[in-house]
Amino acid sequence: MNGRFFKKILHTGRRFAAKFWMLTHSKVQVIGITGSYGKTYTTSAISSVLSEKYKVLQTDINLDTLYNVPITVLKLSDQQKLVLEYGIDHPKEMSGHLFVVKPSIAVITGITPVHADPAHLGSLENIVKEKGKLAEAASKRKGWIVANWDDQLARRIAESVKGKIIFYGKNRYHCQFWASHIKVLSKGTSFKMHFKGQSHNVKLQLIGKHHVYTAMAAVAVGYLCDLKWREIIRGLEKVKPLPGRGNIELGPKESIVFNDSRRANPASTVAGLQTLADFPAKRKIAVLGEMGELGDYSEEGHRSVGRKAAETKPDYLICVGEQTKYIADEAEKGMKKGKVIWVKDVFEAAGALSGVLKKGDLWYLKGSLLKHLERIPLILEGKDVDPDEIASKRYEVYT
């Protein structure tokens, strides 16, 4: 018997213990968040909003998704709200989470083909099926499904179950909560939130139009939990950028890094490129790494990013890794000759970036976790990093 076997036994025991512990806290309301993107910020935003009125326990964002539900549940004491990120990347994992605890409010952020490769969920349909179990669980408890109307597959999940649904998005005719007048500023994002004839101005510390969806999900949950508007808005204003998830840092050569290197999938990378385009900066550079675990969708996923780059036209685009050749191929159709650079690894990327980077430049750093693109600014600073294609550890960049 090896360590992996004992780890599995330990986790099984922990899940049973967490299920029992949950039974002793039957009055705690559970809010569950799932989707292919936006889960972590949505979890944080919901927790921040609810904390204006209630004692809240939320998922530790640094825990592996396989273990975070039971570990978080076992921390319950006198909290009134439990906000859980239901992350999955293999079949039956959602059922394992739901065995421990089922939510009365299920939030569906959006669905993309991340984890669609054979080693994980295998297909986009399987992703929809697995993540849809959260909505089914909430509906069976006569709870609410809060879903992103603008994401077709999230909408499909919500509409496929019998339950009470709240949609959020930009469509004023189909969404109970909808946004307008969105502006990306150097220190955050502002927009106007609409609901039942009311409108409220919201300012976020988070940078990017896509975070309007983060905020709207939190607004909807706050409304369902009987918070006043002033409490909801105050909670949203307290949500801060997370390291490696779209935060601003000082970079080499007195540049500015828009560091989004913690995770990457087609939807989040497209959103990041739009944020780069919206950001008030004189010169903009995008450094994009490979997006992993896309399976049969890998080529099209990378090409979709390339098409967005061709549309937004950063001053330079540096594509890092074999699969990003598809990004470069599409980007070259809309960008000027010589502005798209393909390189094989982070060391070549650092060299290419060094050749074009100037004082005051804003550059966007985006790639899947295992590729560790956060090594690039460290290489430019002359620091030692793991030379493997897939690094064995994560590096802290700037704070």
Task: Give the sheet arrangement for strand 255-260, strand by strand.
Answer: 247-251, 255-260, 362-366, 284-289, 316-320, 340-343
Q: Phi and psi for 192 in degrees, rounded to 5? A: -110, 125
pLDDT one digit per residue (tens) for the chain, 399 residues: 566 777 778 878 999 999 999 999 999 999 999 999 999 999 999 999 999 999 999 998 778 777 899 999 999 999 999 999 999 988 999 999 999 999 999 999 999 988 888 888 889 999 999 999 999 999 999 999 999 999 999 999 999 998 899 999 999 999 999 999 999 987 899 999 999 889 999 999 999 999 999 999 999 999 999 999 999 999 999 999 988 889 999 999 999 999 999 889 999 999 999 999 998 889 999 999 999 889 899 999 999 999 999 999 999 999 999 999 999 999 999 999 999 999 999 999 999 999 999 999 999 999 988 788 999 999 998 888 878 765 545 555 443
**Which residues on adjacent β-strands are paired with residue 165?**
145
Q: Which fold has domain 3-237?
A: UDP-N-acetylmuramoyl-L-alanine:D-glutamate ligase (3.40.1190)
Assigned token pair, 386: 């793991």
DSSP state of 192: E
Q: What is the pLDDT of residue 399?
A: 36
pTM for the full model? 0.90
| Vertex 121 angle, CA 117 and 127, to 5° | 115
The per-residue pLDDT for 397 is 47
Take residue 14 and report the two structure tokens written for it: 């922990």
Distance from C-alpha of 175 to C-alpha of 195, rounded to nearest angstrom: 9
Beta strands in 15-158 (DSSP E): 29-34, 56-58, 81-85, 105-108, 144-148
CATH for the stretch 247-380: 3.90.190.20
Going from N- to C-terminal start, the domains of the chain cover 3-237, 247-380
93 contacts 67 by C-beta, under 8 angstroms: no
36 and 148 Cβ atoms separated by less than 8 Å:
no
Give residue 389's pLDDT: 62
Query: Do 115 and 76 touch, CB atoms closer than 8 A?
Result: no
Dihedral through CA 131, CA 136, CA 142, CA 146, nearest 10? 30
Are the beta carbons of 171 and 178 closer than 8 angstroms?
A: yes
